[in-house]
Amino acid sequence: MTKEKEMTKYELIDEIAEKACCTKLDARNMLNAFIDTVTEQLVQGNKIKLIGFGTFEVRDRKGREGRNPRTNEPIQIEASKTPAFKAGKQLKDAVNQ
């Protein structure tokens, strides 16, 4: 099993700047705008579909009973919303080559 490499936000900005032939400042602004836009749309309850890449959406999680790991006492976990990403076919195919 190969050890996976983590890419930091700054390394991602460097890659975007190189591929888009723009400055790192422009790449940072584009990435931040993308993140802000996705966040705002998910907060509003909207779904974002990027055909071939994937879909960002909010999923509802039901309330459930859990256990406190320290005391093993039962606790009630409240219902919540969680952001989710579902990879599109082209992205899945690229990863599986």
Three-state SS for 59?
Answer: strand
Q: Over 60: is that where the pLDDT of 83 sits?
A: yes
Q: Containing H/E element for 94? A: helix 89-95
Find the mean pLDDT for residues 16-35: 98
Mean pLDDT of the chain: 95
Length of the chain: 97
pTM, rounded to two decimals? 0.81
Q: How far apart are CA 81 and CA 59, in angstroms?
A: 6
Question: Tell me, what's the pLDDT at 16?
Answer: 97
Which pair of tokens denotes residue 89?
A: 């076919």
Residue 33 has pLDDT above 60, yes or no: yes
Name the residue with tokens 């890659």: 15
